[in-house]
Each structure stands twice: as structure tokens, then as C-alpha cells.
Amino acid sequence: MARKKISIIGAGNVGATCAHWAATKALGDIVLLDIIEGLPQGKALDLYQAGPIQGLDARIIGTNDYGDTADSDVVIITSGLPRKPGMSRDELLAANTRIVKEVSAKVAAASPEAVLIVVSNPLDAMTYVAWKVSGFPTQRVVGQAGILDTGRFRAFLAEAIGCSVADIQAMLLGGHGDDMVPLPRYTTVGGVPVTQLLPKESLDAIVARTRQAGGEIVALLKTGSAYYAPAAASVQMAEAVLLDRKRLLPCSAYCNRQYNVGGYFVGVPCLLGAGGVEKVVELDLTAEERAAFNGSVQHVKELVAAVEKMLVSS
């Protein structure tokens, strides 16, 4: 039986770490692609040489040629620029729209049956770009953000409670970072509601820290941003697709009637399997939760409106 094929576009810290996590999970053969000559080749060769030590038989190659990504089962798109000093958000949005547009077109031509997992920021808008440009059905385009945010939320909760991270299950809605809508009512520790284990003020503080978690890492690193956890989250999604695991995970998925979103990619609970997003699960929300979610969706709509103009003019 042929091994599955995972292509990762972008060999920076996130992309290269995606390749590492995917290799350690033995999910299939890996192609690492970047526009910089030598960068993906060197990182892929280094990772391939770890195979005998870790007992990994996967074929791992680096390339600058999209032809090498042909017939991938899953493609993880990490390409994009970080926001640089003096760069406006509009400039960043325009730059990453151009990048994701070009990448998505080339990926779709090489692997027309793939599931696309988008990691590029701003996440929900870039997932929309990948969908529009690829022409793929909505269920085969999905963005990664909610798993990262719940991972951070769970880590901080475990630290506060003094329990194993493995016992904490959490859910959130909405966009990444400031726009996220954590749901303590749907967060449990070994089946016990977290609201019974921590007072409201502690939960509020953890929610606030989770919203700023990416910025906290940037401030510490000073010259970069997070990549271990974002890559691990992306590969968890790839694993759910490649192994048809039917995982219920928070992802940026296309919602039309669901949650009355009206045709945008937003963070919601998704059933991920071989078909991509096989179902969007609608949760019962309080008025406060609904208002926060609607505010997050409105921000996504504003970003997409700007992106649409860029796609038309480019």
C-alpha cells in the first residue's frame, strides 16, 4: 500500500517544524517546499538523516518545484510574511494575499484532490483566499487556529489546577488571538467542568493570557514568533485527515447557515476526517457568547471584504 503524501509550503520555522512533527508521527512521505533555493533541501536532508535514529522510513525531500508536490493527500500552507516594524496591517494583508493566492493556485494545479490546511495569517482571511483561488469544495479547505488557542488555554489551565494537560478538554469559537471566544462552559478536566475547579477571576485571567499568548512569545523571542505549537496543531489536523480519525477539533471552517455566518471561514468545532471538514457542530450559546462570536465574525467579514478587492485588482 502506497504511503500518504504530505506537502508543506514554506520552510520557515513553522513549515520545517510541521515536517518534523509529521515525520515523528510517521504520517507518510513529506515534501517541504520554499522559494529560497537550498533552504528546504537542507532542512529536509537533515530531517531525513534523523530517520535511522528515530526509526522513520518516510521519504523526505526539499524542493523549489511544485511538481514535486503532485498528488499530495494533504497540503499545509505556512507561506506568508510576518508583520515587520513600520508595516501597516493593510500592507501585511496585501502581501500575504498575493503570496497565498500564488501558492494556492500552484498547489491546486499539482494536487487537485488534496485537503488544504492553511496556517498563514490573518488566518480566516487567508483560508478564504485559498478557497477562492483553488476552486476546491469548501470541505477541503480548512484553517488552523483554534487547536493552537485551545492548546494554550489547556496548558495554562493545567498549570493553574496542577493537573495533567491530557485531562483537559477545551473548546472555543471565533478568530485567532484577540478575537477568540473561549467557552469555559464546554471546558472540562477529567469530565469535571472547569468552572467547578477554578474561580471566575482565575478563569478570566487565563482567558486574557490565552488571547495574548502569541504576543507573549514574540516579546520573549524578540526576533520571531511561535512555531512548535502552531506546527503541532497543523499536523494534528493533517493526521485526522490522513488517518480518517473523525476528530472533533476547533478549526476555521466555511459556515453559511451554520451559526448564521453567511459564507465565511470562522473558528468552529469541526469533525475532521478523510473528506476534510465532514461536519460543523453547532453549539448552544449564551447571549454573551453569541455576541462575542458575532463580533469575531464581523472582523472576519471586514478582512474578507478587503481581500476581495485585492483579488479583483491583482
**pLDDT (tens digit, 9 = 90+) per residue, 31-86?**
999 999 999 999 999 999 999 999 998 899 999 999 999 999 999 999 998 766 66
Q: Give the residue-averaged pLDDT of 146-158.
A: 96
Q: Which residues are catalytic, by number?
A: 176
pTM (2 decimals)? Answer: 0.96
In this predicted model, which residue has the larger pLDDT, 27 or 182? 27
Give Cα 213 distance to the centre of its chain. Answer: 15
pLDDT at 23: 97
Q: Give the residue-averaged pLDDT of 142-152.
A: 95
pLDDT at 86: 67
Domain ranges of the chain: 5-143
pLDDT for 1 beyond 80: no
CATH entry, 5-143, from 1.10.8.100, 3.40.50.1820, 3.40.50.720, 3.40.50.300: 3.40.50.720
pLDDT at 223: 85
pLDDT tens figures, 184-215 = 889 999 999 999 999 999 999 999 999 999 88
